[in-house]
Amino acid sequence: MKSKENIEQIACECLLSRARILNRVLTVFYDDELRSYGLKATQLNLLVFVARVGPVRRIDIGKRLHLDPSTLTRNLKIMLTNGWVEERIDGEDGRGSPLQVTVKGRDLLSQIVPSWKKAQDRARTLIGDEGETLLKRLAANKFGFPSGR
Amino acid sequence: MKSKENIEQIACECLLSRARILNRVLTVFYDDELRSYGLKATQLNLLVFVARVGPVRRIDIGKRLHLDPSTLTRNLKIMLTNGWVEERIDGEDGRGSPLQVTVKGRDLLSQIVPSWKKAQDRARTLIGDEGETLLKRLAANKFGFPSGR
DNA sequence: GCCATATAGTTGCATATGCAATATAATGCT
DNA sequence: AGCATTATATTGCATATGCAACTATATGGC
C-alpha cells in the first residue's frame, strides 16, 4: 500500500517529531531542578535574556528568541507579577516600555545556578558532546546566540 | 560581578534554550504547510504514530513519545472529534480503549505527504546534513525511534 | 497640522504541555 | 469473595505557544 509507505517515511524521517521529543525530555530536566524556586525552564530562559540584553522591548525579544509577541505579553506578565522583571518607565515610545531585570530577578538567577548546572549536565549526558557542539553551533549560526567560546 | 558571570554562562551554554528555539522554528515550518488541511504539526506526529503502531493505548503512546497521559487525553480528543482516530471497542481493559487510525485519518495522511516533504526540506536545510544525522541518531538511540535505514 | 501607513502591543480563541488529585478498573493476596 | 495495591485515564489548574483581529502609538508625505 502507498499509504503504509507514506506513514513509514514520515515516521522514519520526520525531523520535527524528533526535535519536539528532545524538547520535551530536556524541559523535564530543567523544570525538575527549578521547581523548588517557583520558576519554569521557559521563564529562566526569558529571564536570562532580559538580564543580559535589557532594557529590551518585547518585539526585540521575540525576534531573537523566535517567540510571538502575544506569547511574550503573557509570559512576561507572570514574570512582572513575580517581580523578576519590570518595565522601564522612561520609555520614549508610548507603545510599550522595554523590560529589564529587577534586583529580585537577578538574585533568583544567582540562586538557581547550581540547579541549572545539574539539569545542564543531564542534558549534556543525553545528547553527548557531539549533540552539544551541534546545538550550540546551530544556535550561534542560525539564531544569533552567543557562541560561548 | 558574580551575577553577570552566571548570566553569561547560562546564556552561552544553556542547551534547553537552544533546543526550544529549534523546536519553535521547525514547528512553524510544518504548521505553515499543514494549515490548509486543518491539522497541526503535533497532531500529525501523533496521527502517524497511531497509524503505524495502533491499536495502541494512551499510556503506551506516552511512553514512546514522552507525553504526559493528560496531554494525550486532550490531544486525542480533538483528533477523535475530527474523526482521524477512533477507539477500538473490543478492549478487554475497561480503563480505556486503544486508539487506531480511521480511514479518514489514513486518507488525510496520504494527502499531506507533499506538504510534509516541503516542511521537511526546510527543516533539513536549516539544520544541515550533520544536524539531520545527529537528530535521527539521537532519536533512534535514546527515544526508540525507527532509524529509517 | 492631517491623514495614510507602519509599528508595537494586547486580546480572543485554540492547541500543547505537565503536575496533582481524582476516578475507575485490573490484579494480587489471603 | 473481599480488600489492598497497582495501573490507566481523566479533570482542575497553570503555563506555553501562535494566529487573527484589534488598539494605540509613531512616522512619513503633503
| Number of C-beta neighbours around residue A40 at 10 A | 16
Per-residue pLDDT tens digits for B77-91: 999 999 999 998 876
Note whether A52 contacts B109, CB cutoff 8 Å: no
CA torsion, ordered A26, B63, B88, A8, to nearest 10 deg: 70
For residues B121 and B97, give the distance between their C-alpha atoms in angstroms, rounded to a whole number. Answer: 36
Handedness of CA B28, B30, B34, B39 (dihedral sign): negative
Asked whether residue A148 is domain-assigned, the answer is no
Asked whether residue B149 is domain-assigned, the answer is no
Beta-bridge partner residues of B99: B56, B87
Tell me which amino acid residue B132 is.
E
Q: What is the pTM of this model?
A: 0.91
Of B39, B106, B49, residue with least CA distance to B78? B39
pLDDT computed for residue B149 by the predictor? 56
Asked whether residue B55 is domain-assigned, the answer is yes
Mean of the per-residue pLDDT values of chain A: 93
CATH number where A84 lies: 1.10.10.10
Asked whether residue A84 is domain-assigned, the answer is yes
Grid cell at residue B62: 506516552
Residue A1 pLDDT class (50, 70, 90 cuts): low
Chain B nearest CA to A6, separation (Å): 7
Of B75, B73, B97, residue with least CA distance to B86? B97
Query: Number of folded domains in chain B?
Result: 1
Q: State how far the alpha carbon of A30 is from the alpha carbons of A24, A99, B104, in Å.
A: 10, 24, 39
pLDDT computed for residue B91 by the predictor? 63
Asked whether residue A98 is domain-assigned, the answer is yes
Asked whether residue A149 is domain-assigned, the answer is no
The answer, for B1 touching chain A at a CB cutoff of 8 Å, is no
Asked whether residue A25 is domain-assigned, the answer is yes
For residues B51 and A53, give the distance between their C-alpha atoms in angstroms, rounded to a whole number. Answer: 46
Per-residue pLDDT tens digits for B27-43: 999 999 999 999 999 99
Mean per-residue pLDDT, B127-134: 93
Contact criterion met (CB below 8 Å) for B46 and B61: yes
pLDDT computed for residue A34 by the predictor? 97
Distance in Å from C1's C1' to A90's CA comes to 27
What's the domain range around A86?
2-143
For residues A50 and A48, give the distance between their C-alpha atoms in angstroms, rounded to a whole number. Answer: 6
- Whether A149 shows a pLDDT value over 60: the answer reads no
For residues B67 and A25, give the distance between their C-alpha atoms in angstroms, rounded to a whole number. Answer: 9
Percent of chain A at pLDDT > 90 equals 83
pLDDT computed for residue B1 by the predictor? 61
Contact criterion met (CB below 8 Å) for A144 and A63: no
Q: Which residues contact B138 (CB under 8 A, 6 or more apart)?
A: A18, A22, A127, A128, A131
Query: Which residues of chain B are within 8 Å of residue A15 when distances are taken between CB atoms?
Result: 26, 120, 123-124, 127, 132, 135-136
Question: Which residue in chain A is spatially nearest to B10 when comparing CA positions?
Answer: A48
Asked whether residue A126 is domain-assigned, the answer is yes
| Number of C-beta neighbours around residue B125 at 10 A | 11
Query: Contacts of strand C, CB cut-off 7 Å?
Result: A 20, 24, 27-28, 31-32, 57-59, 69-70, 72-74, 76, 93, 95-98; B 40, 42-43, 66-68, 70-71, 74-75, 78, 92-95
